[in-house]
Amino acid sequence: MKKTRILLSFIIVIGLITLVESCDSKREPGKVYMPDMAYSRAYEAYAPNNLAKENINYNPAPVEGTIRRGDLFPYNLPDDSTGYRLSAQVKDPLPPLDSVQMKEAGRLFNINCAICHGPNLNAQGPLATGGKIPAVANLTLAVYVKMPVGTMFHSITYGKNNMGSYASQLTREQRWMVIQYVKSRQAELSAGTESATGDSTTTTK
Q: Using the minimum distance from each CB to ligand HEC, give the nearer residue, 68 or 132.
A: 132
CB 172 within 8 A of CB 71: yes
Rounded least distance, CB 79 to ligand HEC, Å: 12
Q: Using the minimum distance from each CB to ligand HEC, give the nearer residue, 54 or 188.
A: 188
Q: Using the minimum distance from each CB to ligand HEC, give the nearer residue, 51 or 83.
A: 83
Q: Using the minimum distance from each CB to ligand HEC, give the nearer residue, 77 or 136.
A: 136
Site residues (vs ligand HEC, CB under 6 A):
112-113, 115-117, 127, 133, 135-137, 144, 151-152, 155-156, 160-163, 166, 178, 182
Rounded least distance, CB 63 to ligand HEC, Å: 27
Rounded least distance, CB 161 to ligand HEC, Å: 3
Rounded least distance, CB 155 to ligand HEC, Å: 4
Spatial distance between the Cα atoms of 22 and 32, rounded to a whole number of angstroms: 12
Query: 10 Å Cβ neighbour count for 150?
Result: 19
Q: Using the minimum distance from each CB to ligand HEC, give the nearer residue, 51 or 94.
A: 94
Smallest CA-to-CA distance from 173 within 99, 86, 82, 69 is with 69
Smallest CA-to-CA distance from 92 within 205, 168, 158, 181 is with 181
Spatial distance between the Cα atoms of 125 and 133, rounded to a whole number of angstroms: 10
Rounded least distance, CB 135 to ligand HEC, Å: 5
Q: List alpha helices for the chain, DSSP H.
A: 2-22, 35-38, 81-86, 99-112, 114-117, 126-129, 142-145, 149-158, 172-197, 200-203
